[in-house]
Amino acid sequence: MKRRPLRRSSQRGIALLEALIAVVILALGLLGTIGLQARSYAALSDSAMRAEATIAADRLIGIMSNDAVNLAGYQVALDARAPAALAPWAAETTAAMPGARYSVTVVPEAQRTRVAIEIHWQRKQGDADSSHLVTAYIR
């Protein structure tokens, strides 16, 4: 059996087909990278808000530690109006975290007082609330 040599005409367009396949593979890779970038941005935004909530809670714990005899005056329920002792902190926190909601729970115990500060925020309109809870003990 004799093999017929391939004619040059049967190879026409192969380079173009290879180039199109390479472009499709590259496009899929770029779309995956764009999706990863969007998720990364969302995670970065959420971690920034969580850090801001931690800083705000730490600031309030410092304020409360210096005013240990009036700890009950700092208690506030979620979405309630801030008491006078908490008003400056509340203003700073809502300025740093627009739309932030917070609650402060003060529970006296035998030798110390447990303070739980919970801060809620939304990353985007319509998203579920994210929250951060910090618990501290003040003597």
> For 71-110, what is each residue's pLDDT tens digit?
999 999 999 998 999 999 999 999 988 889 999 999 999 8
pLDDT band at residue 38 using 50, 70 and 90 as cut-offs: confident
pLDDT score of 136: 95
Closest CA to 82 of 104, 65, 49, 53: 104
- Please state whether the predicted TM-score (pTM) of the whole model is above 0.85: no
CA distance 138 to 93: 21
CB 113 within 8 A of CB 137: yes
Give yes or no for residue 1 having a pLDDT over 80. no
Where are the domains positioned within the chain? 14-138
Q: 107 to each of 36, 94, 118, how far by Cα in Å?
A: 44, 25, 14
Give yes or no for residue 53 having a pLDDT over 90. yes
Q: 34 to each of 29, 38, 109, how far by Cα in Å?
A: 9, 6, 52
pLDDT band at residue 124 using 50, 70 and 90 as cut-offs: confident
Chain centre distance of CA 139: 32
pLDDT band at residue 19 using 50, 70 and 90 as cut-offs: very high
CB 118 within 8 A of CB 132: yes
| Helix orientation angle between 14-66 and 87-96, rounded to the nearest 10 degrees | 170
CB 57 within 8 A of CB 119: yes
Torsion, Cα 88 93 94 98, to 10 degrees, reads 160
